[in-house]
Structure 1
């Protein structure tokens, strides 16, 4: 069991350097926020397009297959299961559906005979082709609203998780904090501690791999002891995992204390007085191209992506 490989959350891919790595972190952050905000009040076609764009970005960036294959596979499996469960679940309307037309089609015959205009005939044909209940067999019933809710839920899970992970995968923690600090500069006028916030974010991103490593080490230590879980029973197993959780908390607090001691030894007093210039943020030609593409992205969203 290797959590750092099977669950690469918040990890940065240093090599190879793809075109996503070369983009300015501020531009990538705005793109990330666009993916997360354009989803609101959008139709299902736009939601599916967001999923397709994330997959296309991953493939065109030529990120190694070993990095994204397992995580994308598990995420697609999760979204598919969510889609299936939501599709067969009640749609939440709480009504008994009544067909728009009589069950006997002969009732419509006098209307069609009295008015043979093409408009009326087309309306009759379209009304006949509409069905609110798409599938109903025993306890399983799939309606148009349940399909709509299933599409919304499954696509938002994939978009939120994978877009964030792709951003963290192609952007170093120092670049992320530097970009966010640059974007938050106007908040200094309101006496908001921007530097302290970005420093806390940097330490949090650096702490994610340490948490995964500690969890991995503790799980391996439990597995190597070959504990007979059946003999322990439910109460004994709960006590073992309670001890493991307590040990995990102690190790994480020890790691945090070590990081604080390392910062104090290096003379760190406060973020404003001890500044480290990590990156020189400058917009380049491909950054301006990404901004222009983002403008087109929002144009298509406003024109075609609104929910009717």
Structure 2
């Protein structure tokens, strides 16, 4: 099991260099926030459009399937599972009432073909409200995770922090520690792969010992996993101490006095085209996607 390749957290694809990599991180951050905020109070058609839109971006960017295979498979599995479970869950409106008047022999025909219950399998029913709620929850789950994954996949951690620092620079007038916050974010993004590597090494060390968990029982198995968790915490703290020592040796005193510019942010023609499409995206959201 390779956690560094199977989990989408903190994963950055260096090669191949796609057109998404070349976009300015501030533009990509604006698109990410738009994809996260646009499903709010939107109709189901717009939510389904966002899922198809993310698929289309992935195809046009020519991101290799080997990179997306494990992440996409698990994400689609959980999204479909949420869709099915929520569809058959009670919607709160499916309540049977006792009629106050006796039933009449005169049948009243339904003027339209409207049916509140779309599908019924025994005691399980799929109603219009439950289906609408299922589409909302499953598409929102997919959009939030996949859009964030796509942003991390095509944007280096230094570019992310540089773009956030540039956007938050006006807050320095209010004496907010923007540089310190950005430095903390940079270290956190760089530290995530190290944590995954430590977890991966510990899991591999346990699997190579061929422990018979059935003979150990629950109590001894928990003791082993507590020892592993303690060892994991020690290794993470050791890594953090090594990073702090390396920064001190290199003369790092404070972010303001020892600031390194990793990227020179500059908008090009492709960034302006992306902003134009972002404007059209929100125009479509307001005109078509309103609930």
Superposition TM-score, scaled by structure 2 size: 0.95
> What stretches of structure 2 of length at least 5 have no aligned partner?
none
Distance 1:23 1:97, change over 3 A: farther
1:235 matched to which residue of 2? 219
Mark the runs of 5 or more structure 1 residues left unpaired by the alignment: 109-123
Cross-structure match for 2:128: 144
Tell me the residue number matched to 2:108.
Answer: 107
- SS at structure 2 position matched to 1:107: coil
Tell me by how many angstroms 1:9 deviates.
Answer: 2.0
1:268 is aligned to 252
Aligned to 1:18: 18
Match of 1:196 in 2: 180
1:87-236 mapped onto 2 (5 Å cutoff): 87-93=87-93, 95-96=95-96, 106-108=107-109, 125-126=111-112, 129-236=113-220
For 1:9 and 1:154, the matched residues in 2 are separated by 20
**How far off is 1:107 after superposition?**
3.3
Q: Give, in angstroms, the shift of residue 5 of structure 1.
A: 1.7
Larger radius of gyration: 1
Instruction: Find out whether 1:54 has 2:54 as its counterpart.
Output: yes
Aligned residues: 288
Q: Give 1:105 deviation, angstroms.
A: 7.2
CA distance in structure 2 between the aligned counterparts of 1:103 and 1:229, rounded to whole angstroms? 67
Q: State the distance in 1 between where 2:97 and 2:74 align.
A: 37
Moved more, 183-192 or 248-257: 183-192
Cα separation, 2, equivalents of 1:173 and 1:104: 72
Aligned partner of 1:79 in structure 2 is 79
CA distance in 2, matches of 1:273, 1:228: 55
Question: 1:141 is paired with a residue of what secondary structure?
Answer: strand
Name the CA distance, whole Å, in 2 between partners of 1:297 and 1:15.
29
**Separation in 2 of the partners of 1:151 and 1:216?**
35
Distance 1:286 1:144, change over 3 A: same
The SS at the match of 2:29 is helix
Aligned-partner SS, 2:257: coil
Task: Return the alpha-carbon distance in structure 2 between the equivalents of residues 104 and 271 of structure 1.
Answer: 83
Q: Aligned-pair distance for 1:234?
A: 0.7
Question: What is the CA–CA distance in structure 2 between the aligned matches of 1:295 and 1:103, rounded to whole Å?
Answer: 58
Within the alignment, does 1:248 sit opposite 2:227 as a pair? no
Aligned to 2:37: 37
- 1:257 equivalenced with 2:258 (yes/no): no
Aligned-residue offset at 1:96: 2.9
CA distance in 2 between counterparts of 1:57 and 1:97 reads 49
Partner-residue secondary structure (3-state), 2:237: helix
- C-alpha distance after superposition, 1:93-133 (max 9, x if no partner): 4633799xx9977435xxxxxxxxxxxxxxx542xx11111
Q: Deviations over 1:11-33 (max 9, x none)?
A: 11111110000000000000000
1:263 to 1:29, Cα distance in 2 relative to 1, 3 A: same
What's the secondary structure of 2:125's corresponding residue?
A: strand
Aligned to 1:303: 287
